[in-house]
Homo-oligomer: A and B are copies of this chain.
Amino acid sequence: MARILVLNPNSSEKVTDSIRRSVAGLAATTSHQLVFERLPEAPLGIESDADVAAVGPMVRARALTGDADAVVVACFSDPGVDDTRAAVTEIPVIGVAEAGYYAALQFGRRFGVVSLGPASIARHALRIEGLGITARLAGDRSADLTVEQSGDEGLSRERVIETGKTLADRDGADVIVLGCAGMGNQRPFLQQAIGLPVIDPVQAGVAAAISALNLDYIAKA
């Protein structure tokens, strides 16, 4: 049995709990152990480029302690993921945005992203461009939710569904990625409402870690 560290790179216990709940089904079907942690020194939410830059080294430092067989960084800005991967080469290091996009490629032709607010859209575009998959992006639209509002399930559900419908109807998306690690509770409702596959990035990231361990994808000579 291997140990998968699912790291919430902010300091919120509430967000950590929501992340734990979103992968409860995967945890029940894998033989690997999922361990959930937050970064106590990090901000409560990761909202700006400055937040992303600040937590990156904390993510790398945590991964370097070496007690995990795989690390999933559970924030849709993939903070510190590339640096951590360069520093910790002997285990899989997975960013949930990256994993969410690849899952979307598998289950649709063109993906749409539901973002919390407009500020994150430019950051997502850079990441998608860096991954070389812009050709498959249908659109990225803001649900116009603050982090606080996103905790209000009723309000956020309505806005997320409305945004998903716009991505499908106007942008031609045939698969939707939830652009935040804390939106997993909206997945079944959105999928049901629009009849398209909806990817929760945290689930996609943990599924990628499980595959990497089951199939032994990291092997050094």
Residue positions of A touching B, CB distance < 8 A: 25-26, 29-31, 92, 94, 98-99, 102-103, 105-107, 131-133, 135-136, 188, 191-195, 197, 199-200, 203, 207-208, 211-212, 214-221
Contacts and interface: CB of A to CB of B under 8 A. Distances in A.
Nearest to A217: B197
A31 to B, nearest CB: 7
Contacts of A105: 102, 105, 131, 133
A211 B132 contact: no
A25 B194 CA distance: 36
A98 B106 contact: yes
Given A102-B106, A105-B133, A132-B136, 17 more contacts: A26-B214, A29-B31, A92-B107, A98-B106, A99-B106, A102-B105, A103-B217, A105-B131, A131-B136, A132-B135, A133-B133, A191-B216, A192-B221, A195-B220, A197-B217, A199-B217, A203-B215
Contacts of A221: 192-195
13 contacts: A29-B31, A94-B106, A103-B211, A106-B208, A106-B212, A107-B212, A131-B136, A133-B133, A191-B216, A191-B219, A199-B217, A207-B214, A207-B215
Contacts of A92: 107
Contacts of A211: 103, 207, 211
Contacts of A135: 132-133
A180 B188 CA distance: 36
A166 to B, nearest CB: 16
A121 to B, nearest CB: 20
B132 A214 contact: no
Contacts of A31: 29
A98 B106 CA distance: 8
Given A92-B107, A106-B99, A197 B214 contact: no
